[in-house]
Amino acid sequence: MKVLLTGGLGYIGSHTAVELTNNGYEVEILDNLYNSSRRTLGKLKKITGKAIKFYKIDLLNFKALDKLFLENKYDAVIHFAGLKAVGESVEKPLLYYENNITGTINLLKAMQKHRVNQLIFSSSACVYSNENVAPFKEDAKLSPINPYGRTKLFIEEIIKDYCKANKDFKSIILRYFNPIGAHDSALIGEDPNGIPNNLMPYISKVANGKLKILNIFGDDYDTPDGTCIRDYIHVVDLAIGHVKALDHINKITGYEIYNLGTGQGYSVLDVVNAFNNVCGNLVKYKIAPRREGDSACVYACPDKSKEELNFKTTKNLNDMCLSAYLFEKNNKKR
């Protein structure tokens, strides 16, 4: 089975490429390299022992996308490509709507034209309303509070409408909670360009002396220690969830939605303390004002993915912290 990964050189895409390749899938990658690196291809080859074909294409370029699908026969697409920083989306909403939504429409148009009828979409827990009480089930109220989350929700609705219009088309929408950690090889991990927007790469850069101090945005939330609570899932577990989804997609009709999370909530301070316990007291932090667009408490009810995808996480918070630290320590890209 031949699978195209859009955004496949990014953090989650690269780990999924490894797991798919190791499970016998033929993987090809499309990426515009906006927040990723071509060097990741060599790392994927070291891990898997196989060279993965790569195409530098932006989804906003429909002509290039159409040519790719004309010249290659794909059985399925896993769609990771998109801008993903919550804070940046608040500052630059038009950029996010154009890139994420228009890019997805172009992808669906190319898939329709070339009769590729299986799509796994990388959605987010950001689509849920902060009126919900954790744990969040897939049928919980939807009302994202930032433009990034709204792009994910709008894309979900576009996919649902397309599934209804095209009875041959099948899609699994995966709502990620908070992926952290890195591959055991320490070759691939979360390595954004510039100053990180996400918690774990910032923590690991502070621990390795590449940044001075961690800002914790708010300690006055309605949580036990006042800091935000999230469901942190190891990125390798998350990648395996995509293999499970691809294995399952032929069994569905239309679309299905699954949470990918652990079902366990940890606060920001829980993560910092776990990191310091595992890696040494390396992370200094200070409390900063709340960041616009953040919810107080978000964690998954993972029951549906356990029952229907046979998906269960295996790595704990200590595993996540140690693997992230080792990746940052061994990462040569600076």
Active site residues: 148
DSSP one-letter string for 72-83? ---SEEEE--S-
Cross-strand partners of 2: 26
Tokens of 267: 């606060």
Fill in the amino acid letter for 324.
A
CA dihedral angle for residue 14, residue 242, residue 21, residue 55, rounded to 10 degrees:
-50
Q: Which helix (H) or strand (E) holds 280?
A: none
Give ∠ CA 112-139-223 in degrees, rounded to 5.
Answer: 125
Closest CA to 188 of 90, 43, 79: 43
Binning the chain into helix, strand and coil, the percentages to the nearest 5 are: 40, 20, 40
